[in-house]
Amino acid sequence: MHVRSRWVAMVLALSAGMVMMQAHAVVPVLVIHGGAGVIKRDMDPATQKAIRAKLREALEHGYAQLKAGKPALDAVTAAITVLEDDPHFNAGKGAVFTHEGTNEMDAAIMDGSTLRAGAVADVGHVKNPILLARAVMEHSPHVMLAGQGAETFAREQGIPLVDASYFRTEYRWQQLQKALKRDRLGQHQDEEAEGHFGTVGAVALDTHGHLAAGTSTGGMTDKRWGRIGDSPIIGAGTYANAGCAVSGTGWGEFYIRTVAAHAICMRVAVMHEPLKQAADEVINREIPKLGGDGGAIVLGADGSFAMPFNTSGMFRGWIGADGVPHVAIFADEHP
C-alpha cells in the first residue's frame, strides 16, 4: 500500500504540474512590418488592397507555426518569406535596384533565447535571403557572410538561387531611372518615397516564452559602392534577447550609429523602461535628433509590443490571442 500510495501521489503531482504549466502557457504573438516611409500618393486602392492582403497572409502563415508549438524562429522565417516573395515589398522579389542596375540584398535573424544570430549582405541571386541568414546561424561557425562567399554557402546548403532577372520589376526599375535622372540634374530625391525605406521584418513570441527577430531588405534605390544598411547588422536593425525583440526599417545609417535595436532592448532590460516608451525614445527621438527617420516593431517577453514610426506610414500588422490578423498602413490607423 505504501508503494501504491507513493505512486498515486506521484501521478497526482505530475498531473497538477501539467495543469499549472497549461495554466501558465505563454500566448504566442507575431508582429510584422513591410517598411516605413509610405506615402498615399504612390498607392492606388488596388495596391493598398493587395498589400493589406499580403500582410494578413504573412501573419497567418507565421502564426500557424506558433499555434503548432513551433519556435519563434520558425514564425519569423515563415512570415518574412511570404513578404520576400511579393513584389510590393523592398525585399526578395521586390528588391530595389542599385546605381549599377543590380540587386544587393541583406537579411538577418536572431534567436533571443540563445543569442545565436545569422546574417547575409550583398547577395544578388538568393531567392529568400532570410533563409540563408538562418542557415548561416544554424550551419556555420559565423554570424555574417557577404557577397559571393554567401552565395557559395547558399549552394552548399541547398538554399534556392535564381537568375538576377527574377528580381526585376518594372516599378522598381522606373524608381531607379527617376533616381538616375535626378543624379544627372543634381537634384535631391524624395527620400520618403524612393530613398532609404522599404525592408520587411518580423518579431515573434512562442509558447515557450522565447523571442526571435528577423529583417530582410533590398536596401536603398540608387545605392553605390556596395553600401550595406542596418538590417543585417546585429544590434542595429535586428536584435533579440530573452526579454525583447526588434526589427527596424528606415534610414539605416542612423540605426547603425545609434545601435537602435540593441538600444531599445537595453532600455527595457537594464533601465526597466516600459517597452513602448523605450521604443519611442530611440525611434522617435534619438534617430530624428541625428537627422534620420523610420520605424520599428518591438515585442516583449510579456507579449506587449510597439510599432513606432515617424513617417507618413508603415506597413505593419500583428496577430495574437484572438488569432485574427490586424494590419495597417497609414499613420492615422490603429490596428
147-157 vs 129-139: helix crossing angle, rounded to 10: 80
For the chain, the structural domain boundaries read 27-330
Q: Which of the two residues, 131 and 185, has the higher pLDDT score? A: 131
Radius of gyration for the alpha carbons in the chain, expressed in angstroms and rounded:
21
DSSP, collapsed to helix, strand or coil, labels residue 191 as helix
Who's near 110: CB < 8 A, 6+ residues apart? Answer: 116, 117, 118, 137, 212, 213, 214, 234, 238, 239, 240, 245
DSSP, collapsed to helix, strand or coil, labels residue 197 as coil
* Mean pLDDT over the full length of the chain: 90
pLDDT for res 111: 98
Whether the predicted pLDDT of 19 surpasses 50:
no
Q: 249 an active-site residue? A: no
Residue 151 vs residues 1, 225, 317: alpha-carbon distances, Å? 67, 19, 31
CATH number listed for the domain at residues 27-330:
3.60.20.30
How far, in Å, CA of 296 to CA of 306, rounded? Answer: 8
pLDDT tens for each residue of 27-77: 999 999 999 988 776 678 999 999 999 999 999 999 999 999 999 999 999
When pLDDT is averaged across residues 314-327 and rounded to a whole number, the result is 96
User: What pLDDT band is residue 201 in, cutting at 50, 70 and 90?
Assistant: very high
pLDDT tens for each residue of 217-272: 999 999 999 999 999 999 999 999 999 999 999 999 999 999 999 999 999 999 99
Whether the predicted pLDDT of 208 surpasses 80:
yes
Provide the whole-model pTM: 0.90
pLDDT tens for each residue of 138-166: 999 999 999 999 999 999 999 999 999 99
Who's near 277: CB < 8 A, 6+ residues apart? Answer: 267
The one catalytic residue in 77, 81, 98, 199 is 199
